[in-house]
Amino acid sequence: MTDVVQHILEDVYALCAADTSGAVADYIPELATADPDRFGICLTTADGYVYEVGDTRVPFTVQSVSKPFTYALALADRGEEAVAAKIDVEPSGEPFNEISLDPVTERPRNPMINAGAITAASLVAGDTPDEQFDRIRRSFSRFAGRDLELDAAVHASESATGHRNRAIGHMLRSFGVVESDPDAAVDLYFRQCSLIVTGRDVAVMAATLANNGTNPCTRDRAADPVLIERVLSVMTTCGMYDGAGDWVNRVGLPAKSGVAGSVMAVLPGQLGISVYSPRLDGHGNSVRGVLACRELSRRLELHFLHVGRAARSAVRARYSIVDAPSRRRRTAAEQRTLTERGTRSRIFELHGDLLFSAAESVVRAVSPPAVTTATDASTADRPLDAVVLDMRRVDDVSDVARSMLDALAEQLRASGCAAGLVDPRGTMAHTVSTLDPDGSGRVFSTLDSALTWAEDVVLDRWCDGPRQATEVTLDDHPVLASSSRGNRNRIAALTTTSTYPAGTVVADIGDPALGLALVLAGRVTVEFVSTDGVVRPVSTLSAGMSFGEIPLVRRTEFGLRITAVEDTTVAVLAPADFERLRADDPAATADLVITLLDRAYEQVETIVGALRRVA
């Protein structure tokens, strides 16, 4: 798999390597000693996987690629307001080393040109320039995931020749933008520019920005997520100096270049890229760096305004309890009601990341506007009685989406529709108690429990036939109900009643036949357990229902596991007693068997009915 991406990188590398135009920066004499043919491309994913080709481990000085990181530090140390009072965020369209301030605000136009960067450095916390530098060095090291060091030769070289930057420093001091010693501020800036990195380091630093401030390789938090948006914004508008417009047009990634020959680009949430190649174009940007970024952006469709596909609906499936009934076995009257009225419930299965537009599509699907281009054709069933949002396939929910869905649930409840969530991972940050003030909203950990609940909501409103009782006497048990009084008494006399405490396995797979078990009170689950231990729920049985017929009649072992989920009372007609009844009283046996057959066919009907609706 990784070869696929590696090959793309190698293709781009080969294509760009052919371009040997441009010239190595020499205004800082030490930079002129760089090998102009060096070339490396590195791509680090936001989860920390590193792809690299060429000279990605060659050291060079970070230069202006440092600017976004120092700006982040200034924001962290002084706060957004204080920094905004010193540095604007307008693209300048000027070279990086322009000796100018905005004529109206009298502030540096942005933190990506030298004037703004020197100001940002001066704002970093610390009592002395050395302390400030140490803070910068440690911060950059967190972004890179390793301890970065100063290139003393490059620093000395820039110090000796950096008159233009000193001029900028003194200009800043004279306008009161820099309030400390301007030479110290400029030297601090020179030192930050002289930190040694590799292409790999820069790609990891970029990936840390892409990953909202957390280094994906070390898991170290390098910057507060709220600052990342600020930093990426100025990189977008100002990162490539006077080439910024063309850059956004053709590459479309927040980026920063440095005169040592590196370009760093970020695709938020996805990846960081670095390209190192010392020959520069007229703007001071690496020729191959710009070219490679263009090519990668085009081939990998990285442009941040690229519309890959129209937003996909967050609703993956919608259905009612008629299409997908719960596993709870129901009385005949209940079953009839669910078949007739079940479409007044709706389950919406959501998926993906829920941001504003996804949440908007959910709101519109669940509660279509009155005059509607409704995506849900079956408006005839409305108003709905119960809505369930199945969140199990949702990856992430943004704050705005969460409050929109909360408002939707609120609105549904106000209109008399119960609203439930299937949310085992707590994606919506609700507990049963926060969503169930009056019993009209619930959070479930399984879909089946939510379906059961939705069915109960519909049944409570519409079922006027006999409902499932929480308790039945043996005499009233439906399995015996159609037998004559005499036969009923004879069968009852042969049963043994016992209570299984909650949690007890009443019968396990492989157990011998227990007999005909009539549930009088409580609840049992019926589960299938595969040989590799996977448990699949089959049904839930309550008072008035029965189990154990198959092993009894077919003389086999239990093929399913029966577990009491609450204290459960069961009357059992053991196999030997069943045989005795058969021998002694064929008429009573026939009554009983016909009832069982009838109930078995009723279940077959339900299953076939569900299959028919799905087909």
Helices (H), 342-472: 356-366, 399-414, 432-435, 447-462
Angle CA 506–507–510, to nearest 5:
165
Q: Which of 52, 55, 151, 158 touches ligand GLN (CB under 6 A)?
A: 158
Q: HSE (CB half, 13 Å, CA atoms) of 59?
A: 8
Nearer residue to ligand GLN within complex by CB, 239 or 420: 239
Maximum distance among all Cα pairs of the chain, rounded to whole angstroms? 115
Which of 199, 243, 258, 272: binder of ligand GLN (CB under 6 A)? 258
Per DSSP, the chain holds a count of helices (H) and strands (E) of: 22, 22
Q: Annotation-wise, does 64 bind a ligand? A: yes
Nearer to ligand GLN, 27 or 49 (CB): 27
Identity of residue 338 = L
Q: Alpha-carbon distance 356 to 102, whole Å?
A: 37
Strand, coil or helix: 379: helix
- Closer CB to ligand GLN, 96 or 453, in the complex: 96
Any binding-site annotation on 97?
Answer: no
Q: Are 207 and 48 in contact (CB under 8 A)?
A: yes
What is the closest distance, in whole angstroms, from the C-beta atom of residue 158 to ligand GLN in the complex? 6
Indicate whether 45 belongs to the interface with ligand GLN (CB under 6 A).
Answer: no
Amino acid at 146: R
Q: How far is CA 171 from CA 70, 183, 207, in A?
A: 20, 11, 35
Nearest distance, CB of residue 447 and ligand GLN, angstroms: 56
Query: Measured at CB, which residue is nearest to ligand GLN?
Result: 64
Query: What is the closest distance, in whole angstroms, from the C-beta atom of residue 260 to ligand GLN in the complex?
Result: 7
- Work out whether strand 345-354 and strand 386-397 pair parallel, antiparallel, or are unpaired: parallel
Are 602 and 333 in contact by the 8 Å Cβ rule? The answer is: no
Q: Which of 378, 360, 358, 376 is nearest to 368 (CA)?
A: 376
Contact pick of 45, 97, 286, 495 for ligand GLN (by CB under 6 A): 97
Q: Is the CB of 145 or the CB of 258 nearer to ligand GLN? A: 258
Q: Looking at residues 265 to 284 of the shown chain, list those that interact with ligand GLN (rule: CB under 6 A).
A: 284
For ligand GLN, the closer CB: 122 or 335: 122
Residue nearer to ligand GLN on the CB measure, 119 or 468: 119
Q: Among 101, 253, 259, 517, which residue interacts with ligand GLN (rule: CB under 6 A)? A: 259
Distance CA 289, CA 25 (A): 14
How many binding residues for ligand GLN (CB under 6 A)? 11
- Tell me how far, at minimum, the Cβ of 285 lies from ligand GLN, in Å: 8
For residues 108-147, which are near ligand GLN according to CB under 6 A?
114
CA distances from 545 to 16, 198, 354, 523 (A): 75, 72, 42, 10
Which C-beta is closer to ligand GLN: that of 259 or that of 408? 259
Query: Locate tokens 């089946």: which residue?
Result: 448
Give the count of beta carbons closer than 10 Å to the beta carbon of residue 559.
13
Residue 93 or 383 having the CB closest to ligand GLN: 93
Q: Least distance (Å) from ligand GLN to the CB of residue 44?
A: 21
* Tokens standing for residue 152: 């003393």
Q: Is 110 annotated as a binding residue?
A: no
The correct pick among 92, 165, 331, 449 for binding ligand GLN (CB under 6 A) is: 165
Dist. CA 108–CA 114, nearest whole Å: 9
For the bound state, the minimum distance from the C-beta of residue 91 to ligand GLN, rounded and expressed in Å, comes to: 15
The crossing angle, in degrees rounded to 10, of helices 67-78 and 129-144 is 120
CA–CA dist 595, 608 (Å, integer): 20
Rounded to a whole number of angstroms, the minimum distance from the CB of residue 64 to ligand GLN is 3
Closest C-alpha among 432, 449, 600, 611 to residue 537: 449
β-bridge pairing 546-547 and 418-422: unpaired
Q: Write out the binding residues for ligand GLN, residues 54-73 only, by CB under 6 A.
A: 63-64
CB of 145 to ligand GLN, least distance (A): 22
Q: Of the candidates 112, 171, 188, 193, which one interacts with ligand GLN according to CB under 6 A?
A: 193
Q: What is the dihedral of CA 374, 375, 380, 384, to 10 degrees?
A: -100
**Closest distance between ligand GLN and the C-beta of residue 442, in Å?**
59
As a whole number of angstroms, the distance between CA 389 and CA 22 comes to: 58
Nearer to ligand GLN, 211 or 262 (CB): 262
> Which of 144, 193 has the CB closer to ligand GLN?
193
The single residue among 96, 133, 247, 500 that binds ligand GLN, judged by CB under 6 A, is 96
* Identity of the residue, 108 or 216, whose beta carbon is nearer to ligand GLN in the bound complex: 108
Task: Estimate to the nearest angstrom the gap between the alpha carbon of 437 and the chain centroid.
Answer: 28
CB of 12 to ligand GLN, least distance (A): 23
Is 158 marked as a binding-site residue? Answer: yes
Phi, psi of 164, deg, nearest 5: -65, -45
The nearest distance, CB 292 to ligand GLN, in angstroms, is 18
Known binding residues are 64, 114, 158, 165, 189, 241, 259
Known binding residues for substrate are 64, 114, 158, 165, 189, 241, 259
Instruction: Name the site residues for ligand GLN (rule: CB under 6 A).
Output: 63-64, 96-97, 114, 158, 165, 193, 258-259, 284
